[in-house]
Structure 1
Amino acid sequence: MFKFLNMKNETMSDRINQRIKALKLRSTNLISATGASKGTVSQWVNGGTEPSARYLSKLAEVLGVSERWLTNGGLVEETSGNAYPGPEIRRRVPLLSSVQAGHWKEMVEGNLDEVTEWIETTAKVSPFAFSLRVTGDSMSSPPGAGISLPDGSLVIVDPDIEPASGKIVVARLNGSNESTIKKLVVDGPNMYLMPLNPAYRPIPIDDKCEIVGVCTRVEMNLP
């Protein structure tokens, strides 16, 4: 079967160190803010133990993030003062290029410095979701043929949704640096990436194809 990217290897220690680096903090800042001992903070930073509920709120505050992000990970949910992110049904997701989308796993596990544009969506998606702009007319359906993704429309993509036949997916073919948006079709032992435009041919895929995520919503400006 095709490969499905797994992005859940990051630890709380990794996230703490990420924020320490981003904010140019020192361990003494965490000690002062949380009231924890030097040894306890050292355990958090080095991955020996995770912060208990007693320290979590103050730690999230000094790191400038929500407690939810600190414990669960995903895209950084920064906070300011006592203003916290709203319900998860509304999320801010990065807008990626086709090349960035093909290497989304590496970007999440490393850093998001390459992201320059973010899109707000009301889609209920995981913290790892992102958006991608459709280019070309391969996903434009004929009038009356159902769903259509015209050139320039934005799709919201969730890597945590299991891909299945009939779903619109973002995939990276073996040997390619770029991702593509197509309909996944499974026909017995055969699998295809199917354009919605009948003028384009289906793309046969094998187990070397990586399904980056499943498209959950399309957003576009009306003329």
Structure 2
Amino acid sequence: MSDRICQRLKALNLRSSNLIKATGASRGTVSQWVNGGTEPSAKYLSKLADVLGVTERWLTEGGLVEESSGNSHPGPDIRRRVPLLSSVQAGNWKEMVEGNLDEVTEWIETTAKVSPYAFSLRVTGDSMSSPPGSGVSLPDGSLVIVDPDIEPVSGKIVVARLNGSSESTIKKLVVDGPNMYLMPLNPAYRPIPIDTSCEIVGVCVRLEMNLP
């Protein structure tokens, strides 16, 4: 059994200290298990099998590895529901918060830790689709979770409303000395120079999308 225990320790990158914590056994007892001095008693077998991710039968009898669980784990809990807005609604989000939420017809559940003023927005077009291997990409149809309470700093993906426009746009904020730009992730599109008249509505904190 010690060979099987060592095999699983190596496979899972665990240490004896992990076995001590999971089973409640003493350091000396765990050392005996690992080195082949003694085998775990029934008192410890269930907890030992759990931490090693195998069945008790495999641990005691050997054979082909019988993992007790797959390679997936429960995801984080849903933290809140946020309204799904149109680009026009996002540009006027401050006004909506003050009493026009009746206009919201769809809400999105998110695991993101965001402020009560957060909302979601659907990406349209391919200006935020970056080339393969270039890092973050926001493909057409994906959803971003936006938090207006986060400070917009250079390098963040933001939702912005240009002066004179009623619609908002999703772009990467780039500050280069005195110059500021809204930068598409798709190199086929040109950066948009902006000044202080541009309103940053919020910072994108999470990307939600369906797999093809």
**1:192 & 1:139 partners in 2: Cα distance?**
14
* TM-score, normalisation: structure 2: 0.63
Q: Partner amino acid for 2:144? A: V
SS in 2 for 1:124: coil
Q: Deviations over 1:24-57 (max 9, x none)?
A: xxxxxxxxxxxxxxxxxxxxxxxxxxxxxxxxxx
Partner residue in 2 for 1:48 = none
Q: Deviations over 1:63-103 (max 9, x none)?
A: xxxxxxxxxxxxxxxxxxxxxxxx99611000000000000
**2:78 & 2:91 partners in 1: Cα distance?**
25
**1:133 & 1:208 partners in 2: Cα distance?**
24
Q: Partner amino acid for 1:151? A: D
Q: Deviations over 1:149-179 (max 9, x none)?
A: 0000000000000000000000000000000
Partner residue in 2 for 1:216 = 205
**1:164 & 1:89 partners in 2: Cα distance?**
27
Question: Structure 1 residue 126 and structure 2 residue 115: aligned?
Answer: yes
Partner residue in 2 for 1:135 = 124
Equivalent pair of 1:184/1:193 in contact (CA under 8 Å):
yes
SS in 1 for 2:96: helix
Partner residue in 2 for 1:67 = none
Within-5 A mapping of 1:1-223 = 90-223=79-212
Q: Partner amino acid for 1:115? A: V
Q: Partner amino acid for 1:174? A: N
Higher relative contact order (CA 8 A, sep 6+): 1
Equivalent pair of 2:145/2:207 in contact (CA under 8 Å):
yes
Kindly state the Cα deviation for residue 111 of structure 1 after the two structures are TM-superposed.
2.3
Please, which moves more after superposition, 108-117 or 211-220?
Answer: 108-117
Equivalent pair of 2:78/2:109 in contact (CA under 8 Å):
no
User: Identity of counterpart residues, as a percentage?
Assistant: 92
Segments of 5+ residues of structure 1 without an aligned counterpart are 1-86
**2:78 & 2:84 partners in 1: Cα distance?**
18
* TM-score, normalisation: structure 1: 0.60
Structure 1 segments of 4+ aligned residues over 2 angstroms from their partners: none
Segments of 5+ residues of structure 2 without an aligned counterpart are 1-75
